[in-house]
Amino acid sequence: MTEELPLPGLHNNGAQDPDQWAPARSNRRDSYGCTRPEVGDLVAWRYAAWLVHETRPYLDVDLTDKRQAKLDASVAPLTGEKRDLAYARNRPFHLVLRHHNGPLIIKPGEERGFIRLHDGTREIHFTSWPHRNQWHRLPDPYQTCSCHGHPWPCQEIDRAVLTQHQLRKMDRLMATAQPGVCAHCLEPITTRQKTVTFPEESRLVPGAPGPTFHAGRAACWGGAEEYERAGRLADNPDVPRIASCPGITFIHERHGMPAEQRIECTAGPFCTGLHGPSGYRQETPCWNRVELAGNEGAYARPGFDCGYRGRGGGCIGGDLSGGGTSLSPVAGDLLWEAQQRRRGILP
């Protein structure tokens, strides 16, 4: 349930942040934008069309120490001719835009950046970095909305889509508070199904009891684990875990050893055993199976022990002989946080 619902039709989240807006693909000259617009181009920015009035590259004498350091950092990995080409390609330039059509959205504190000309036209000056900024150029003529005549899609369209999205999201959240319903899949829970219920008040719906998840379904267990790691443990790190373990389970590949003895968790004595139902999180193998060259072709390395050993000579997944583990006891939590950052959920 903690997953964000898809938001179709909202162009780059512009209704929540106008700087993230971009025109529809059918309303662009370039599919992916350009880094250096030319004088006379119409570019889209903050739901409006702006005319490029001036572009002027910065010379070395015009660069501040901060901009010079930023330019040097952008070409630091390169050498020789590639460095010289990248230095010229990444050099910032001064961009002057004049308001042509559409709403004039000025955020708090930006009033001084918008210059009003004698004929009432608004003008704004940018320092644009080609290796970071993408400008979407509008065709001539460009598509406009029927309600305001602004570049398509207009701000009202995105606001309407965002409102519908928020209503659907609220309906879904309210459904998680219904008794006898899984908070992830929103399906009824029968008496024969295993469940996991959080004792505290729901973090999804204030005032509602703690949500309940299917404990025997991989996807629902994943929702319960994310609910716990994302907020419950953040609110109180000492609260007893219900759907997560601070470690990662490894399976040791040793010949003749029973399966229950080959599985080990990096949390050691702090392992909660809450690693999900069968098939949710497969145990990570601690060996690196390599192919050895033989007279009759390649064959797999014999699995007489854990196989791959770290710098200290021990198994990188853990050591059943009592030597301890080479991974942190909180490896599971750290791995989850890294996954959330890659998905853009955590900063």
Pick from 23, 82, 71: nearest CA to 49:
23
Residue 323: per-residue pLDDT: 44
pLDDT > 90: percent of the chain: 7
Condensed to tens digits (0 to 9), the pLDDT of residues 175-233 reads 877 888 888 888 888 888 888 999 888 888 888 888 899 888 888 888 888 888 888 88
- For residue 195, what are the contacts with CB-CB under 8 A and spacing of at least 6? 182, 189, 212, 213, 214, 215
288 phi/psi in degrees, rounded to 5: -115, 100
Residue that wins the pLDDT comparison between 133 and 38? 38
Q: Is the peptide bond before 141 cis (omega within 30 degrees of 0)?
A: yes
Condensed to tens digits (0 to 9), the pLDDT of residues 73-103 reads 888 887 888 888 888 888 888 888 999 998 9
Q: What is the SS3 assignment for 139?
A: coil
pTM above 0.85, yes or no: no
The per-residue b/e assignment along 36-45, b for 16 or more CB within 10 angstroms, e otherwise, is ebeeebbbbb
Q: Which residues pair with 339 in a beta bridge?
A: none
Neighbours of 70 (CB within 10 A): 15
Residue that wins the pLDDT comparison between 148 and 285? 148
- For residue 259, what are the contacts with CB-CB under 8 A and spacing of at least 6? none
Q: Which residues pair with 44 in a beta bridge?
A: 49, 136
User: 279: phi > 0 → left, psi -120 to 50 → alpha, else beta; which?
Assistant: left
Q: Is there a contact between 183 and 190 (Cβ–Cβ < 8 Å)?
A: no
